[in-house]
Structure 1
């Protein structure tokens, strides 16, 4: 057969692949490879077999070739076949021996120094080594060696920043702390035309940034790189709103985004989280029904069902579905945390701690399991242990105000009031002004701690700020009344004791202290009158 006829057949194979006619592609590729015995044509035949889901046959074809261990693309495609067959140890053997250090740098590359086929003609290709490192990471993760998986994912993204999947696995899998992700991004070597990509990667971790920093990043991508309506960018922005506690803004944004792209699963997860915080049980029910129908084998679907039952306080059912989500995908962090929370909601501390510890082990870059372990210890009055876990959570994610709030609370319980004031002030420094109302209990606790330090006037300032946010807090009225009482301002104290008792007429503390304040005011009045007579 003439060369021009063979080239025409190659074009037919490529066209069949482009039109997803894989049986036709396999048929013609087989004929071309038989005629030429060219490695490039054998590779094309193997690709057609792989795309047609004939993984065993494709692997046999590649493995039988004389070039498989000398050509990286042959080796990579053979390993991809083994990946699909779930033969992970064989997959690693096919990829060959290699070593990586803790920074994700390859220390042994002699096995990857072999040649590989010429490029297929694209303007830009992802480095084949990056793809190989990523596949090694996936194999190690499937074998539950998450330490090695993390190192190879880092190696993949460092070998080529275009290998987005590696970065996604590191972030979504919570394999790195906030600081480690930021450090990794700073080491990536972007091309001169990839400025937008560098900015976009930074936006993937904006949920941990301060409000003005995050807004600047989003504005740069929206305006300079014209990505204003990009769904991935909007999902990042929604995640940032959720982290900041702006749940209504988050919910509104995800609702608009899901109207545009109803199957954007990353946005769906954020939408579920916001709906949970806002108590939108009807929305959770509808989302859960649709997800189970469209994605019955996806952990996210059953997680949504668990969220619905958790929202309506049916914790036994919610546990069942969170557990099903973890059985479908053991690396789905939200399901593990939801599983623990469902136990914690019923004060079943041992089971909750077991779930949180599993999550903490699987997701070292996620601070929530560690934070919740601390909360469980605090519930059982093990304050020193609680403090240790809160400090560990702060190391993992130093931008979450909830961590500082819990540190302040545990310090208050241990009667370390100066430390409590410091932590509560840090909490308020980390929250946007737009959601200050949500943190009213923190402001009250800060006022309590200041009162304990006899900084009465400072305490009153914060009590009054708390009253401006919520006028139905017994603790705030009782606290400000007692502070005025300590300042011997009995009239003001009596006024606030009355307001507290209006909210809860049978409150023992306020009832007793009101009687004392009335007596003190009488004595004080008599004392003033006697003093004036003496003059």
Structure 2
């Protein structure tokens, strides 16, 4: 019987029981000053990856390795099995591993044979092997792998029984104990698996605590750290506080590097200066400026700032280096959707469908493409398919909710947004969308509650600030509304001036000024919107028309309201305002023209009185002409014309208004001409007589 191997504990990694280092001198893991060879040969080597540790005797490092005892028969078989596994010769590894286990009957050899089954996808066979003997099940490494097999088989309760509902190794005096082999502690790995189980059982609070415990046990357990950050399981304040509690000494000489790398992964809502400092050090001292993960962190920062153009440029740079980098795809497809890049969305979705048809990210990209085309039924189908591949895929749930929101199905949208909020408690977006839905349903109190939660997480998103401004506008708190809109404009400085958010903020600010009776400020805002908009918004035109009505610019108001109805003929607001403008003009036009004629007559009264008899006769005739002329300018109502029925007036609003506007313009022209004639007197009068009167 072969002598038992050493067994790993929760404080070791699988390197501890690896045949590559078993019975080897510990100096194998000491970096030599100038090693003549690397641990693994370059491609094309005539030697296996595992049999060349003792080949070179040019320095003390290699001579120490040559002094070790020769390998036994079983050890050589183990190395053969291990090398076959690394080269993906699974049938070879399975065949030799089975013989090694038959010779030794040890848990470590059972673990490595199960690894062969696991890597080749035979999870049920691996689980059965690891649990067939009590001594195998007692091994920490075997129990860890058996639990992982149960997770792959989606046997969540069985997996939790194997891993444990809580960490059985949790002791305060051992949390800081470092591994002797430089790998990831099995205790941390089991905490990570526990988090996966709870997440798939929708117990996200326990999942978060398990992931946090995994990283606290061993900072090298990046899988757990990535789950915490990618899924936004912590608020921004919690993330930065958690980072300060980590023990980076587990990373040995790489403690500073790992701290900086982890810092770049944290939320960009807070401590932007620290993120920029970490990025600068990684770029300058570690030459990682072009590393995809560093670029992705920068893209996240730009996306939070709503700087979609620059974010898209960085995403495209990452995809040029690695077109199958799935981590960048949520930012990439979101930016394309915001910027209207339908062609690029189609191309990327087509590529993903061909290369990765089972990835939820593929169906997310397809769903976003159809959402950009406003084909909501198709988009909903593909978002739903993405959630089937990954029920906890928050991005797909948000897209799924967007399709209901676009159709006005508020209840279904709220349900989907609420589930996304459970998945992503550390991001502000689900609460923002919930607030927007309740606002559309006129639930101001609930809307403000959700928007406040979103604001507490991210106070720099212009969309959040805009929505809070709208809430205060409806509450008639105009000073607070103006403050939020001004803050939103400052936060939107990175946006294109023609973006929907930027236009909405300016329009809303204009409405605040309009209601606060700051008419000229409101006009400036509305005119700015019209200047940058690609299309005329009837609501903005109606608001401008209303302001001109308040200012007494009736003709200007009529013109603008006609423009609004030309864009949207059935707009009730523009129709009502135009009706009021026309009625106001109708009531004022006759009085205005009479007063104008009387004032002009009074100005020339003394000239008429001192004319000669001939001139008086002509002027008398002229005054008669004035009277008859002024009668022509009276509105139909003053001339007792037959009134038009209400229904007929409503159906012909645009045409009647155009005719009235034309008559009024002609009337003003005739009045001006009349005034000019009265000022200079009759053309046939005697100039000498006039001069005499003036000299007297």
Same fold (TM over 0.5): yes
Q: Call closer, same or farther: CA 1:468–1:184 in 2, change over 3 Å.
A: farther
Q: Distance in 2 between matches of 1:514 and 1:179?
A: 59
Answering whether residue 431 of structure 2 is matched by residue 370 of structure 1, we say: yes
Q: Call closer, same or farther: CA 1:400–1:39 in 2, change over 3 Å.
A: same
Give the corresponding residue for 2:489: 428
Deviations 1:333-364 (A, max 9, x none): 12111111111111122222222222223332
Answering whether residue 332 of structure 2 is matched by residue 271 of structure 1, we say: yes
Give the corresponding residue for 2:97: 29
Answering whether residue 145 of structure 2 is matched by residue 77 of structure 1, we say: yes
Give the corresponding residue for 1:246: 307
Q: Distance in 1 between matches of 2:472 and 2:172?
A: 55
Give the corresponding residue for 1:292: 353
Q: CA deviation at 1:36?
A: 3.7
Q: Distance in 2 between matches of 1:35 and 1:361?
A: 51
Q: Call closer, same or farther: CA 1:429–1:198 in 2, change over 3 Å.
A: farther
Q: Helix, strand or coil for the counterpart of 1:179?
A: helix
Give the corresponding residue for 1:177: 235
Q: Distance in 2 between matches of 1:171 and 1:511?
A: 58
Deviations 1:473-506 (A, max 9, x none): 67667767877887x7x7xx78985885585366
Q: Call closer, same or farther: CA 1:172–1:380 in 2, change over 3 Å.
A: same
Q: Call closer, same or farther: CA 1:350–1:463 in 2, change over 3 Å.
A: closer
Q: Is the 8 A contact 2:296 2:315 kept in 1?
A: yes
List runs of 5+ in structure 2 lacking aligned partners: 3-69, 567-573, 604-696
Give the corresponding residue for 1:95: 163
Which of 504, 507, 515 pairs up with 2:564? 504
Give the corresponding residue for 1:442: 505
Give the corresponding residue for 1:18: 86
Q: Call closer, same or farther: CA 1:11–1:283 in 2, change over 3 Å.
A: same
Q: Which moved more, 1:35-44 or 1:180-189?
A: 35-44
Give the corresponding residue for 2:204: 146
Q: Equivalences for 1:407-418 in 2 at 5 Å?
A: 407-418=468-479
Q: Is the 8 A contact 2:288 2:294 kept in 1?
A: yes
Q: Distance in 2 between matches of 1:434 and 1:324?
A: 33
Give the corresponding residue for 2:248: 190
Q: Is the 8 A contact 2:510 2:525 kept in 1?
A: yes
Q: Is the 8 A contact 1:161 1:190 kept in 2?
A: yes
Q: CA deviation at 1:16?
A: 1.1
Q: CA deviation at 1:34?
A: 3.2
Q: Distance in 1 between matches of 2:384 and 2:266?
A: 28
Q: Call closer, same or farther: CA 1:498–1:256 in 2, change over 3 Å.
A: farther
Q: Is the 8 A contact 1:309 1:315 kept in 2?
A: yes
Which of 234, 249, 258 pairs up with 2:295? 234
Q: Is the 8 A contact 1:208 1:400 kept in 2?
A: no
Answering whether residue 198 of structure 2 is matched by residue 135 of structure 1, we say: no
Q: Distance in 1 between matches of 2:585 and 2:263?
A: 58
Deviations 1:125-148 (A, max 9, x none): 122221110011111122222221
Q: Equivalences for 1:359-398 in 2 at 5 Å?
A: 359-398=420-459
Q: Call closer, same or farther: CA 1:318–1:433 in 2, change over 3 Å.
A: closer
Answering whether residue 391 of structure 2 is matched by residue 333 of structure 1, we say: no
Give the corresponding residue for 1:103: none
Give the corresponding residue for 1:102: none
Deviations 1:414-436 (A, max 9, x none): 21112212222332333334545
Give the corresponding residue for 2:75: 7
Q: Distance in 1 between matches of 2:412 and 2:367?
A: 17
Aligned pairs, how many? 512
Q: CA deviation at 1:180?
A: 2.3
Q: Distance in 2 between matches of 1:495 and 1:10?
A: 95
Q: Which moved more, 1:431-440 or 1:371-380?
A: 431-440
TM-score for both structures, normalised by structure 2: 0.65
Deviations 1:30-85 (A, max 9, x none): 33333344544443333334334343443344334554455422321222222233
Q: CA deviation at 1:394?
A: 1.9
Q: Call closer, same or farther: CA 1:466–1:183 in 2, change over 3 Å.
A: farther
Q: Is the 8 A contact 2:165 2:194 kept in 1?
A: no
Q: Distance in 1 between matches of 2:554 and 2:263?
A: 55
Q: Distance in 1 between matches of 2:120 and 2:359?
A: 23
Answering whether residue 372 of structure 2 is matched by residue 311 of structure 1, we say: yes
Q: CA deviation at 1:455?
A: 5.7
Q: CA deviation at 1:163?
A: 1.6
TM-score for both structures, normalised by structure 1: 0.82
Q: Helix, strand or coil for the counterpart of 1:330?
A: coil
Q: Is the 8 A contact 1:92 1:136 kept in 2?
A: yes
Q: Is the 8 A contact 1:480 1:496 kept in 2?
A: no
Answering whether residue 318 of structure 2 is matched by residue 224 of structure 1, we say: no
Q: Distance in 2 between matches of 1:455 and 1:382?
A: 29
Give the corresponding residue for 1:59: 127
Which of 403, 406, 409 pairs up with 1:342? 403
Q: Distance in 1 between matches of 2:416 and 2:119?
A: 39
Q: Which moved more, 1:406-415 or 1:212-221?
A: 212-221
Q: CA deviation at 1:207?
A: 4.4
Q: Is the 8 A contact 2:537 2:564 kept in 1?
A: no
Q: Distance in 1 between matches of 2:580 and 2:222?
A: 65
Answering whether residue 320 of structure 2 is matched by residue 259 of structure 1, we say: yes
Q: Which moved more, 1:451-460 or 1:281-290?
A: 451-460
Q: Helix, strand or coil for the counterpart of 1:351?
A: helix
Deviations 1:136-178 (A, max 9, x none): 1111122222221111011112222222211222233232222
Q: Helix, strand or coil for the counterpart of 2:154?
A: coil
CA RMSD in angstroms comes to 3.8
Q: CA deviation at 1:196?
A: 2.9
Q: Is the 8 A contact 1:497 1:514 kept in 2?
A: no
